Amino acid sequence: MTPLETLIREMIVETGPISIEIYMKLALGHLEHGYYTSKMPLGESGDFITAPEISQMFGELIGLWCVAVWRAMGAPRPFLLVELGPGRGSLMADALRATKIAPDFLSAIDLHLVETSEILRRSQRAALAASGLVPKWHTSVEDLPAGPMIIIANEFFDCLPVRHFVRGVDGWHERLVGLDGTGQLCFGLAPGPDPGLAMPGEPGEVLEAGFAAMHVMAGLAARLAAQGGALLAIDYGYDGPPRGETLQAVQRHRFADPLADPGGADLTAHVDFRNLARAARASGAAVHGPVPQGEFLARLGLHERAVALRKRANARQCAAIDAALDRLAGDGTAAGSASMARLFKALAVTAPGLDVPPGFEGAA
Ligand code: SAH
């Protein structure tokens, strides 16, 4: 048993079952034993791979997106360039390298990274050393200073904890993590219905609520509406009515039991884009998209960028570029395709009145 599991069991014995939100928060963010705080989650030897780790093209295109948005904002100097959950720092390193063609943009950047993990902060520092910019780190979005800003969040919102409610005859009962007869962690339900949830539902239906993600989005959208700027969120998720439960654990590139190894496996939930968009609009910001990642990257010029890279690549590198193209934006028909093009979506949130950001032209 991991030290974190011991700690969670003790907590439950002392004060009773805990919500999935608290379980996720502990499993991912516990300062000593949490998943993100205690290990290197990303890469071949880690548990999962993300778009910026698949290809440099991803970060480069997002860098150019930032330049276009900054110009649309009236090119403020300085402005805050913010990344939420920068992982190994690859996206930002690729973005900054690509924006060398816009020295006025580069010299206006005040770089801020929101990251809870010390291990990942170290990777980020190393990855960004060549950029010549010195980032400032924050543990929470609340700590970001005021000012016009461009915020990038790739696979950040999916790490924020969710709550589950199960429909019973008398209302919605919160799903909790407790202990079974043998002292193992298990799921159960709160005995009484949640007084705050009044919407109808079918018996047995599960409602997954990303209140934490909506709270973060509401706060950032209010800043953008008041101080100017834009946010780009890319994540896997759905745009439509709630889908039921999507909580998942991933360990060494495979799905795992979410309760089996708290702190040892990544826990995420699909992002509910409709509710995120709602939270942003309610804070006075404008919303664009979501659009499927494949479409978004194609509009930013992914295929043109691949052609340019291929020109100075050998055969092996060309094959890697083609594989990356398929993974990031393929139509899913290639043999063995693990395309992210449709499951992943891009959403932009901007100050009202800002031009439609690149990649979202014609999106609702
Ligand atoms: N954006 C990167 C990494 C995605 S993994 C990429 O695409 O490769 C999720 C990132 O969010 C990690 O850097 C993780 O440490 C960070 N993170 C997770 N929960 C967080 C929280 N509550 N606050 C700040 N950072 C968090």
pLDDT at 333: 79
Going from the Cα of 196 to the center of ligand 1, the distance in angstroms, rounded, reads 30
Give mean pLDDT, residues 202-229: 96
pLDDT value at residue 364: 66
Ligand 1 atom closest to the Cα of residue 155 is: 4
* Cα–Cα distance, 149 to 12 (Å, whole number): 42
Relative to the CA of 114, which ligand 1 atom is closest? 24
Question: In the numeric block, which tokens belong to residue 361?
Answer: 């032209």
**If you average pLDDT over residues 73-102, what whole number do you get?**
97
The reported pLDDT for the residue numbered 297 is 97
Q: Are strands 266-268 and 248-251 parallel, antiparallel or unpaired?
A: antiparallel
95 is written with which tokens?
Answer: 């973005």
Expressed in angstroms and rounded, the spacing between residue 43 Cα and the centre of ligand 1 is 14
Mutate which of 50, 120, 157, 159 to test ligand 1's pocket (most atoms within 8 Å of Cβ)?
A: 159
pLDDT over 80 at 206, yes or no: yes
Q: What's the confidence (pLDDT) of residue 242?
A: 77
CA of 171 to the centre of ligand 1 (A): 35
> How far does the centroid of ligand 1 lie from the alpha carbon of residue 159, in Å?
7
CATH fold of 36-161+212-301+338-350 reads: Rossmann fold (3.40.50)
Contacts of 155 (CB under 8 A, 6+ apart): 50, 51, 85, 87, 234, 235, 236
Residue nearest to atom 17 of ligand 1 (CA): 85
Q: Which of 314, 293, 280 is nearest to 360 (CA)?
A: 293
How many other CB atoms sit within 10 Å of the CB of residue 226?
A: 13
Q: How confident is the model at residue 342 (pLDDT cuts 50, 70, 90)?
A: confident
> What share of the chain has pLDDT > 70, as a percent?
100
3-state secondary structure 212-243: HHHHHHHHHHHHHHHHCEEEEEEEEEECCCCC
pLDDT in tens, 157-194: 999 999 999 999 999 999 999 999 999 999 999 999 99
pLDDT for the residue numbered 127? 97
Counting atoms of ligand 1 from 1, which one is nearest the CA of 117? 15
- In the reported structure, the alpha carbon of residue 84 is separated from the centroid of ligand 1 by a whole-number distance in angstroms of 7
CA of 175 to the centre of ligand 1 (A): 25
Residues in contact with ligand 1 (CB, 6 Å cut-off): 28-29, 36, 42, 50, 52-53, 85-87, 91, 114-117, 120, 154-156, 159
Q: What residue's CA is closest to ligand 1, atom 14? A: 85
Q: Is the pLDDT at 43 greater than 80, yes or no?
A: no
pLDDT tens profile 116-137: 999 999 999 999 999 999 999 9
User: Is residue 240 scored above 90 in pLDDT?
Assistant: no
pLDDT at 44 over 80: no
* CA–CA gap between residue 352 and residue 230 (Å, rounded): 10
Position 288 scores a pLDDT of 98
pLDDT tens digits, 90-119? 999 999 999 999 999 999 999 999 999 999
- Mutating to test ligand 1, I would choose from 154, 156, 158, 266 the residue with most ligand atoms within 8 A of its C-beta, which is 156
Q: Let me know: does 20 contact 238? Beta carbons within 8 Å.
A: no
Average pLDDT, the chain: 94
For the segment 306-336, what is each residue's pLDDT rounded down to a tens digit?
A: 999 999 999 999 999 999 999 999 988 777 7
Q: Whose CA is nearest to atom 3 of ligand 1?
A: 87
Ligand 1 centroid, distance to 99 Cα (angstroms) = 23
Nearest CA residue ID for atom 6, ligand 1: 87
Q: Which of 115, 141, 158, 216 to mutate to test the pocket of ligand 1 (most atoms within 8 A of CB)?
A: 115
Domain ranges for the chain:
36-161+212-301+338-350
- List the single range of 44-48, 51-55, 196-200, 312-316 with lowest mean pLDDT: 44-48
Both structure tokens of 302: 């992914």
